[in-house]
Amino acid sequence: MKVAVDERGYYGNFGGAYIPEMLYPNVEELKENYLQIIHDPQFQKQFRGLLKDYAGRPTPLYFANRLSEKYSTNIYLKREDLNHTGAHKVNNTIGQILLAQRLGKQKIIAETGAGQHGVATATVCALMGMECIVYMGEVDMARQKPNVERMKILGAEVRPASSGSKTLKDATNEALRHWINNPVDTHYIIGSVVGPHPYPEMVALFQSVISEEIKWQLKEKIDRENPDYVIACVGGGSNAAGAFYHYYENEKVNLVAVEAAGKGVNSGESAATTMLGKPGVLHGSKTLLMQTEDGQVIEPYSISAGLDYPGIGPVHAHLFESGRGKFLSATDEEAMKAGIFLSRLEGIIPAIESAHALAALDQLKFEKDDIVVVNLSGRGDKDLETYIKWGGY
Ligand SMILES: *Cc1c(COP(=O)(O)O)cnc(C)c1O
pLDDT of amino acid 174: 94
In the chain, beta strands by DSSP E: 10-11, 14-15, 61-63, 74-79, 107-112, 131-137, 157-161, 186-188, 229-233, 254-262, 278-282, 285-289, 325-331, 371-376
Cβ pair 110, 146 in contact under 8 A: no
Q: Which one of 164, 186, 203 terminates a domain?
A: 203
> Which among 376, 325, 369, 335 has a CA at the least distance from the CA of 354?
376
Distance 116 CA to ligand 1 centre (A): 8
Number of domains in the chain: 2
Sheet with 229-233: strands ordered across: 61-63, 74-79, 371-376, 229-233, 254-262, 325-331
Q: Please indicate, yes or no, whether residues 241 and 312 belong to a single structural domain of this protein.
A: yes
> Which among 249, 239, 260 has a CA at the least distance from the CA of 373?
239
Distance, C-alpha 334 to centroid of its chain: 20
> Nearest 5°: CA angle at 259, between 8 and 338?
145
321, HSE (Cβ side, Cα atoms, 13 Å): 17
pLDDT of amino acid 386: 94
Distance 193 CA to ligand 1 centre (A): 11
Distance 21 CA to ligand 1 centre (A): 30
Would the CB of 77 count as within 6 Å of ligand 1? Answer: no
CA distance 59 to 67: 19
pLDDT of amino acid 392: 86
Taking each helix axis from N to C end, the angle separating 332-346 and 352-359, rounded to the nearest 10 degrees, works out to: 90
Task: Kindly report whether the peptide bond that precedes residue 20 is cis, defined as omega within 30 degrees of 0.
Answer: no
Distance 368 CA to ligand 1 centre (A): 30
CA distance 324 to 251: 8
Q: Please indicate, yes or no, whether residues 67 and 109 belong to a single structural domain of this protein.
A: no
Residue 5, in any domain of the structure:
no
Q: Please indicate, yes or no, whether residues 375 and 361 belong to a single structural domain of this protein.
A: yes
Cβ pair 49, 43 in contact under 8 A: no
Q: Please indicate, yes or no, whether residues 151 and 232 belong to a single structural domain of this protein.
A: no
Residue 332, in any domain of the structure:
yes
Q: Please indicate, yes or no, whether residues 261 and 132 belong to a single structural domain of this protein.
A: no
Would the CB of 236 count as within 6 Å of ligand 1? Answer: yes
- Evaluate if pTM is beyond 0.95: yes
Cβ pair 123, 156 in contact under 8 A: no
Q: Please indicate, yes or no, whether residues 165 and 229 belong to a single structural domain of this protein.
A: no
Q: Which residue has the CA at smallest separation from atom 14 of ligand 1?
A: 306
Q: Please indicate, yes or no, whether residues 216 and 255 belong to a single structural domain of this protein.
A: yes
Q: Please indicate, yes or no, whether residues 24 and 160 belong to a single structural domain of this protein.
A: yes
CA distance 109 to 101: 13
Would the CB of 89 count as within 6 Å of ligand 1? Answer: yes
Residue 296, in any domain of the structure:
yes
Q: What is the DSSP string of 218-236?
A: HHHHHS-S--SEEEEE-SS
Cβ pair 181, 292 in contact under 8 A: no
- The domain in which residue 317 lies consists of 56-87+208-390
Residue 106, in any domain of the structure:
yes
Catalytically active residues are: 89, 111, 377
Q: Please indicate, yes or no, whether residues 263 and 382 belong to a single structural domain of this protein.
A: yes
CATH number at residue 291: 3.40.50.1100
Q: Which one of 184, 203, 222 terminates a domain?
A: 203
For 284, phi and psi rounded to 5 degrees? 90, 0
Q: Which one of 203, 222, 242 terminates a domain?
A: 203
Tell me the H-state helices in 248-373.
273-276, 314-322, 332-346, 352-359
Q: Please indicate, yes or no, whether residues 274 and 195 belong to a single structural domain of this protein.
A: no
First to last CA, the chain: 44
CA distance 283 to 176: 9
In tens digits, the chain (393 residues) has pLDDT values of 779 999 999 999 999 999 999 999 999 999 999 999 999 999 999 999 999 999 999 999 999 999 999 999 999 999 999 999 999 999 999 999 999 999 999 999 999 998 999 999 999 999 999 999 999 999 989 988 999 999 999 999 999 999 988 888 889 989 999 999 999 999 999 999 999 999 999 999 999 999 999 999 999 999 999 999 999 999 999 999 999 999 999 999 999 999 999 999 999 999 999 999 999 999 999 999 999 999 899 989 999 989 988 999 999 999 999 999 999 999 999 999 999 999 999 999 999 999 999 999 999 999 999 999 999 999 999 999 999 999 989
Would the CB of 239 count as within 6 Å of ligand 1? Answer: yes
Task: Determine the residue of 119, 208, 233 to mutate for testing ligand 1's pocket, defined as the one with the most ligand atoms within 8 A of the Cβ atom.
Answer: 233
Query: What 3-state class would DSSP assign to 285?
Result: strand
Q: Which residue has the CA at smallest separation from atom 3 of ligand 1?
A: 306
CA distance 108 to 96: 10
Q: Please indicate, yes or no, whether residues 67 and 114 belong to a single structural domain of this protein.
A: no
11, HSE (Cβ side, Cα atoms, 13 Å): 32
